[in-house]
Chains A and B, each alone.
Chain A
Amino acid sequence: MTTPIIRRIVGWLLPFLWIFSFYIMLFGHLSPGGGFSGGSVLGACLILDRHVNGANAFGARFTGERLLKLSLAALLLYGILKGQSFLAGVLHMNGLPIPLGTPGNILSSGLILPLNVLVGIVVAVAFYLIATLFEEGHL
């Protein structure tokens, strides 16, 4: 299905795409981007990798089962991190004291950075698993 040309070009491209996706996710609070956009680029990377290199490159180490667990863990962590803030909001109290930091720094704006990463993981894994299921019919 894949020709050497595609394999070579994707081989060149993938590392950049990986870095780019993490950049979008990690700098979501500072520049355009965020969890969903970064996650979809990351998901596209994973799909591309699977498509070109087959299941044995990335898929061998990260089986569908494991990825599913990873994304569920991310969701769970999201629910707990944000859930406490929601619950505290109902009571008009402050949630976990997370410093907002200096605006403009990478480590700033409290929960937004970790939440972006968690959303990114969920989105990337979901896209990757859905695409794998469509293409191969199993994980």
Chain B
Amino acid sequence: MKRKIAAVLITVSFIAFLLIGLSDFPPYGTADSAVYNEVTARYLEKSIEETGAVNAVAGMILDYRAFDTFIEASVIFTALVLVLMMLQKNDKANGGDGNDHAHH
């Protein structure tokens, strides 16, 4: 019970804290926010010319910020390797290199 009250209190104060920070932001859906700067302008204006992509999002994630996407692919790879490691029941499809200590 104590723990529940503590959790609720922490969460409520946390939300309040975030909301206080939120009050500095421009209203939802208005155009005067800081994100419409030279970066956005270039991604929209030059996307076709520099990346050839009509879809500016595709141009952005695979050309302007392609490194992110490359690392993202390696995140998937890491997760795949890990799940393979954890759930693969021993040496069935894996070719099984040798003596396995067989402790479950």
Contact = CB atoms under 8 A, between A and B. Distances in A.
Interface of A: 28-35, 63-65, 68, 71-72, 75, 78-79, 82, 85-86, 100-101, 103-104, 108-112, 115-116, 119, 122-123, 125-126, 129-130, 133-134, 137-139
Contacts of A134: 83, 87
Given A109-B52, A111-B62, A122-B77, A79 B88 contact: no
Interface string B67-84: 101100110110110011
Contacts of B58: 28-29, 33-34, 109, 112, 116
Chain B interface main SS type: helix
Given A112-B59, A138-B93, A75 B84 contact: no
A67 to B, nearest CB: 10
B10 to A, nearest CB: 33
A115 B77 CA distance: 16
A41 to B, nearest CB: 15
Nearest to A115: B62
A109 B66 CA distance: 14
Given A79-B70, A138-B93, 20 more contacts: A30-B54, A33-B55, A71-B77, A75-B73, A78-B73, A100-B51, A103-B54, A110-B51, A112-B52, A112-B59, A112-B62, A115-B69, A116-B58, A122-B73, A122-B76, A126-B79, A130-B83, A137-B89, A138-B88, A139-B94
Interface of B: 48, 51-55, 57-59, 61-63, 66-67, 69-70, 73-74, 76-77, 79-80, 83-84, 87-89, 92-95
Chain A interface main SS type: helix
Contact of A82 (B51, B70, B83, B88): B70
A126 B77 contact: yes
Contacts of A32: 55, 57
A137 B87 contact: yes
B54 A126 contact: no
User: Max chain A CB contacts within 10 Å: which of B48, B51, B53, B83?
Assistant: B53
Nearest to B80: A126
A86 B67 CA distance: 8
A129 B93 contact: no
A129 B55 contact: no
